[in-house]
Amino acid sequence: MADFIDNWWWQDYEELTSTNDEALKLSINPPSPFYIVTAKRQTSGRGRRGRSWIGLEGNLFMSLSLPLENKDIGALVFIVSLVLLETIKFFDEKALVQLKWPNDVLLNNHKISGILLEKGERGYIIAGIGVNIASAPKISESVLYPTSCLAEAGIKISRTEFLFAYLKHFNRRIALWKSKGFCAIRDLWLEHAKGLNEEIKVNLPDTTKEGIFRGVDENGILLLEQDGTIEKIYAGDVFFPQRIKE
């Protein structure tokens, strides 16, 4: 049965292949201007660049759907990850949470969530978000970053508690973005950015670049300094010194 939370139409399912799949279908005839799909279990979750997202029961799988212009998708990526951090801090203000470009959220230097944005029908953008609440999937050493969950960090909450808190923070940050623009979101994001003004390594499709992370520009593009020159990185996987040495 559908419900409304803070002006969001909400449908929770026992099981879905992917909450994004269902949200994409609903975008053909949206049930509300803003709607969200969640599931207790997800059997075929998707991540960036075709990676899978393992859906363990007790974790949160949700897809936020809202009408948005294509030019604003980049801003949404930063809003989604910033709000994930703020929601974790809401439950534990002392938690060591950091943001890793472009859209990762790290808790105690472990990956805690996954984000995937997709285009729906009728001008809708679907933001698929997975959050490790109760457990973290076991991964091989070849995976990009180790995973953890809120429970392992001592944050014992339910997936719906996290969902309700997330939506309150999300509405607030969307309002800030609409009134002040992306730079206001970027400044907040950079306050929590891991590795800012430090050495990083960026894996690109055909090469690897190392340099100093100098923040992001007005479009969210990573700024990498090499020998005094700033290069813009549009897509890639970022690693930090301790990971580079491994």
The model's pTM:
0.90
| pLDDT at residue number 146 | 85
CATH-assigned architecture of domain 199-244: Roll (2.30)
Per-residue pLDDT in tens (0 to 9) along the chain, 246 residues: 678 888 999 999 999 999 999 999 999 999 999 999 999 998 876 554 444 555 578 999 999 999 999 999 999 999 999 999 999 999 999 999 999 999 999 999 999 999 999 999 999 999 999 999 999 877 654 456 789 999 999 999 999 999 999 999 999 999 999 999 999 999 999 999 999 999 999 999 899 999 999 999 999 999 999 999 999 999 999 998 764 444
- What is the reported pLDDT for 2? 77
Would you list the domain boundaries of the chain? 3-190, 199-244
In the prediction, which pLDDT does 205 show? 87
**Superfamily per CATH, domain 3-190:** Bira Bifunctional Protein; Domain 2 (3.30.930.10)
Provide the β-strand partners of residue 216. 222
